[in-house]
Chains A and B, each alone.
Chain A
Amino acid sequence: MTTPDDQTPADGHPAPGGPSRRSFLKQSGGLLSATLAAPIASRAEAVADKLAPPSPVASGPTNMALTINGQVRNLRLEPRVTLLDALREYLDLTGSKKGCDHGQCGACTVLVDGKRVNSCLTLAVMAQGKQITTIEGLAKGDELHPMQEAFLKHDGFQCGYCTPGQIMSGVACVSEGHAKTDDQAREWMSGNICRCGAYPNILAAVREVAGQQAKG
């Protein structure tokens, strides 16, 4: 499925790799077959090296497809573009926030194949073929996800900037089974920093969704 804001170029062809690097890899692929007698090279890999062409090298804008909240989105991006920038700058999915941009604050947290990751340290090109869930993908129409409801009920934010990351991390924390006690939930939510200090309310929300009320 595509949407109007997709970045697919008109020709739809993959970007060519850097010619020098590509031709080098081809040459080295040829050299490899001469060194296959090396004792430890596994048989399967040796065969693969002989048969398979060298993997393509992407440099400069490259076509890629990301599956975000169940929709395939086609983009043309440089390899250096992070998943966070792909979401925010190229797909207008600005729910995921850029806090530190170095994996220290958790504001950019999304789920990749159900696991929470820092999208600021994930390259978009490496997220292809995976199921990406952002804060925009949690609600079903007008029906909020229970974690979103709990954050509203417990006032789990002040400025709200860390909130999408907190909610995504909270969803994962509960599904991982790491919110069984207050202390456990605190430890397993420690990758999400809240500058306003709404931690007691965030904890209450996460613990409520986990099926228990937070103590005091």
Chain B
Amino acid sequence: MNNFAYTQAASTKEATTAKQADKAAAFIGGGTTLIDIMKSNIEQHSLLIDINRLALTGINDTAEGLRIGTLEHMSTVGEHPQVVQNYPAISESLLLSASPQLRNMATMGGNLLQKTRCGYYRDVAFPCNKRVPGSGCPAQTGDNRTLAIFGTSPSCIATNASDLAVALVALDARLTLENAKGQSRTLPLTEFYKLPGSTPNIETHLQPDELITAITVPAAGHARRSHYLKVRDRASYAYALVSAAVGLDVQGGLIRSARVALGGVGTVPWRVPAVEKYLVGKPATEDTFRAAAALAVRDAAPREQNKFKVELAQRTLVRAFLELPTA
């Protein structure tokens, strides 16, 4: 790993100002992706700005919703009793992520900013438009079994690997961002991620001097009755081939509100609003879920080796709905 300078920021303002001043600087929270990528010579940074001393912690669940400080660890949030009770999909997505060790290290904000990556991105011997813009995308016709079928472009088909982000986009999460001027804004997570298009090296709408400070999720019936299901090549500690975050508010057998997102299949966490709309007013039956699942994959654009994901996504979605606790 090439050397870098290190500083521990004493305030959000100091952190964002240092970041603004140095284009090659990066924030470091848990560092689980950053150090990995820097060791592989994929990214180099002149300065790491340690944000762990900032007062950006806390998990507060109120009648309005859930607020999580960006520095909370995945393990803490995943087992927080009120998250488990009122936002089960968020808890499940966290506890099915990575390994216990990594969950003890990784922060919530860092999880949402982990690289959207594939094997070609990780191997500096290959071209990759994300790593070296304009160099090409061998994944289009190469080893693409685990890669995306939604939101792809001729430049990139890497899959967003965050389980947490799938649950959060489904449940209308918003991010609070703060910049070097001390100004803060909030942004729906669905509008945070950027499709690869011709610039897969730019993954989010985060400005260079902005730091994620908090995540908020509104309270809702479909959040209390939500579920995250992850299908993998092995039983644990693997990326999703396909995952589904679903939430249903069912009253008298009819669906009042629905939230649906897919993971492991999109270049960004893949929420499907058309499916949510379709479900409202329908009976909560397997037939309804099957029709919804067919609608969810209508726009799939698989490559040679990942065609199986079109069928697997539908089965995963139907099973996720059926595994929801009965209302």
Which residues of A are in contact with B by a Cβ distance under 8 Å?
A: 17-18, 21, 24-25, 28-29, 31-32, 35-36, 38-42, 45-46, 48-49, 52, 54-60, 62, 78-80, 82, 101-103, 106, 109, 115-118, 121-123, 125-126, 169, 172-173, 176, 178, 186-188, 190-192
**10 closest cross-chain pairs (CB), A and B:** A191-B99, A41-B182, A79-B6, A59-B5, A190-B236, A38-B182, A190-B237, A40-B184, A57-B7, A115-B104
Contacts of B100 in A (CB 8 A): 116, 169, 172-173, 176, 178, 188, 190-191
Contacts of B14 in A (CB 8 A): 25, 29, 32, 49, 54-55
Prevailing SS type, chain B contact patch: mixed
Can you list 12 residue pairs at the A/B interface with Cβ under 8 Å?
A24-B21, A29-B17, A39-B183, A46-B13, A52-B11, A55-B9, A80-B1, A121-B31, A169-B100, A176-B100, A190-B235, A191-B99
| CB within 8 Å for A35 and B104 given contacts A17-B5, A58-B5, A79-B3 | no
One digit per residue, 1 when the CB lies within 8 angstroms of any chain A CB and 0 when it does not, for chain B 85-119 equals: 00000000000001111101100000000000000
A116→B103 CA distance, assembly (Å): 9
The answer to whether A101 touches B101, judged by C-beta atoms less than 8 angstroms apart, is: no
Partner pick for A55 among B8, B48, B102, B183, CB 8 A cutoff: B8
The answer to whether A21 touches B5, judged by C-beta atoms less than 8 angstroms apart, is: yes
| CB within 8 Å for A25 and B18 given contacts A18-B5, A121-B35 | yes
Q: Which one of A46, A55, A62, A169 has the highest number of Cβ atoms from chain B below 10 Å of its Cβ?
A: A55
Contacts of B22 in A (CB 8 A): 21
The answer to whether A121 touches B3, judged by C-beta atoms less than 8 angstroms apart, is: no
Partner pick for A57 among B28, B47, B75, B105, CB 8 A cutoff: B47
The answer to whether B105 touches A190, judged by C-beta atoms less than 8 angstroms apart, is: no
Q: Nearest Cβ in chain B — how far from A200, in angstroms?
A: 15
Contacts of B47 in A (CB 8 A): 21, 57
Is B181's CB within 8 Å of the partner chain A?
yes
Contacts of B7 in A (CB 8 A): 17, 21, 25, 55-58
Is B2's CB within 8 Å of the partner chain A?
yes
| CB within 8 Å for A122 and B31 given contacts A21-B47, A55-B14, A117-B105 | yes
Closest to B98 in A: A191
Closest to A37 in B: B182
One digit per residue, 1 when the CB lies within 8 angstroms of any chain A CB and 0 when it does not, for chain B 235-259 equals: 1110000000000000000000000
A38→B39 CA distance, assembly (Å): 38
Is B52's CB within 8 Å of the partner chain A?
yes
Q: Which one of B39, B181, B182 has the highest number of Cβ atoms from chain A below 10 Å of its Cβ?
A: B182
The answer to whether A80 touches B3, judged by C-beta atoms less than 8 angstroms apart, is: yes
Contacts of B17 in A (CB 8 A): 25, 28-29, 31-32
Contacts of A31 in B (CB 8 A): 17
A192→B236 CA distance, assembly (Å): 11
- Known A39-B182, A125-B6; further 15 A-B contacts with Cβ < 8 A: A31-B17, A39-B183, A41-B183, A49-B13, A52-B10, A59-B6, A79-B6, A102-B36, A103-B102, A118-B102, A123-B28, A173-B100, A176-B100, A190-B99, A190-B237
Q: Which one of A45, A52, A187 has the highest number of Cβ atoms from chain B below 10 Å of its Cβ?
A: A45
The answer to whether B5 touches A79, judged by C-beta atoms less than 8 angstroms apart, is: yes
The answer to whether A41 touches B9, judged by C-beta atoms less than 8 angstroms apart, is: no
The answer to whether A187 touches B236, judged by C-beta atoms less than 8 angstroms apart, is: yes
Q: Nearest Cβ in chain A — how far from B113, in angstroms?
A: 16
Q: Nearest Cβ in chain B — how far from A24, in angstroms?
A: 6
Contacts of A56 in B (CB 8 A): 7
A130→B100 CA distance, assembly (Å): 19
